Amino acid sequence: MTSVVEVPAAEAAEPTAADWAAAVAAVRGGQAGGTVLLVCHVNPDGDALGSMLGVALGLRRLGITQLQATFPGATAGATGGGYAGPPEVPEPFRWLPGLDLVVPADSAYPAPDLFLCFDAASASRLGALADRLDTAGAAVVLDHHASNTRFGGIHLVDPGAAATSVVAEGLLSRLEVPLDAEIAQCLYVALATDTGSFRFDMTTPAVHEMAARLIATGISPGEISRRIFDTRPFGAVRLYGDVLQRAQLEPDAAGGVGLVWTYATLDDLARHGQKAYVLEALIDSVRCAAEADVSCVIKQVGPAEWAVSMRSKGAVDVSRVAVALGGGGHRLAAGFTGRGTVDDVIGAIRAEL
């Protein structure tokens, strides 16, 4: 059995040779006919979903047949008490290979022989599926968040990696799974989304080398970019206009380096007939304000519950803010769940900044 006991994020370090060996041994054990469950965090982004599906396809190539992938449904309402509803793959990712392996969370193996978790900094990001950490024979956590709390049994957590997909490719390589176009599509989506289409500071030479390996399988980076970055419903365009119109600039906030922020409500989504996932890219339109180092988008998910995305251009470590408010992330990109009114949430952010 594994454990959900979590330790301080400061203890996190990149995977050791022993960690990699333990993960490979755990997967190899699954080839003997055991059940394997792959899970990523609630409201999955491209890195979470792409990393999970890329590894799932790789495990299928190894001959593992009792294989499921899933993630918790959307967050519940005002109480924040868990997750509700079936998992819904965001529209930009519904073409990814491997989605046939995704099952509803309530149909997932209750006690898998092997549990693999992707892109979740804490067990709470797994919702009700976190109980598999206790019922699984072995649990492997693949992640790249510096704030990872080291839950689970085997830790493939690399805070220096640009995306969880970097860790995923490392595992597939050690399992001697050759890259093919389907696996590469999933991992490329994951890598491109978490590096902001290769624009963020974590875009190292190694990132470009990985991208080259993936492109060499025959995938089309142009087509992938159009699908995930450059395509959205017209209703989402109108929604962005409404939300950006209420953006606020506070140049004296964050010790004088500035804060720009806005918020989107459930009524905004309903008025334009849009799903919550369309708001994920909104932070990129807000963070470009020249007068602010810190940007923030506050997205309503319940009557008094908000998903908060934060970004920094370098002067502020927003992960410290997010961790202090119950979330996590990276120095330049982080988030948390806020409760109360918009004023309550932005007030808490101002105080921590």
Cβ–Cβ under 8 Å, residues 330 and 200 = no
Amino acid 298: pLDDT: 98
Domain boundaries 234-352, CATH class: alpha beta
Residue 290: burial class (beta carbons within 10 Å; 0-12, 13-18, 19+): exposed
Distances (CA, A) of 305 to 79, 81, 136, 241, 265: 8, 11, 31, 23, 10
Confidence of residue 201 (pLDDT cuts 50, 70, 90): confident
Q: Is pLDDT at 91 greater than 60 in this prediction?
A: yes
Confidence of residue 86 (pLDDT cuts 50, 70, 90): low
Domains of the chain, by residue range, sit at 17-229, 234-352
The first and second tokens of residue 258, run together, are 């500035």
**Residue-wise pLDDT tens digits, 246-278:** 999 999 999 999 999 999 999 999 999 999 889
Confidence of residue 202 (pLDDT cuts 50, 70, 90): confident
Overall size of the chain counted in residues: 353
Amino acid 147: pLDDT: 86
Amino acid 22: pLDDT: 97
**Alpha-carbon gap, residue 257 to 313, rounded angstroms:** 10
**Residue-wise pLDDT tens digits, 96-123:** 999 999 999 999 999 999 999 999 989 9
The first and second tokens of residue 332, run together, are 């330049």
The CATH classification number of 17-229 equals: 3.90.1640.10
Q: Is pLDDT at 63 greater than 60 in this prediction?
A: yes
Amino acid 43: pLDDT: 83
**Residue-wise pLDDT tens digits, 19-47:** 999 999 999 987 778 999 999 998 899 99
Cβ–Cβ under 8 Å, residues 286 and 249 = no
Distance of CA 214 to the CA centre of its chain: 20
The mean per-residue pLDDT over the stretch 166-175 comes to: 98
Confidence of residue 87 (pLDDT cuts 50, 70, 90): low
The mean per-residue pLDDT over the stretch 233-251 comes to: 97
The mean per-residue pLDDT over the stretch 301-314 comes to: 94
Amino acid 3: pLDDT: 41
pTM of the full predicted structure?
0.86
The mean per-residue pLDDT over the stretch 174-184 comes to: 98
342's CB contacts (< 8 A; 6+ apart) are 263, 298, 306
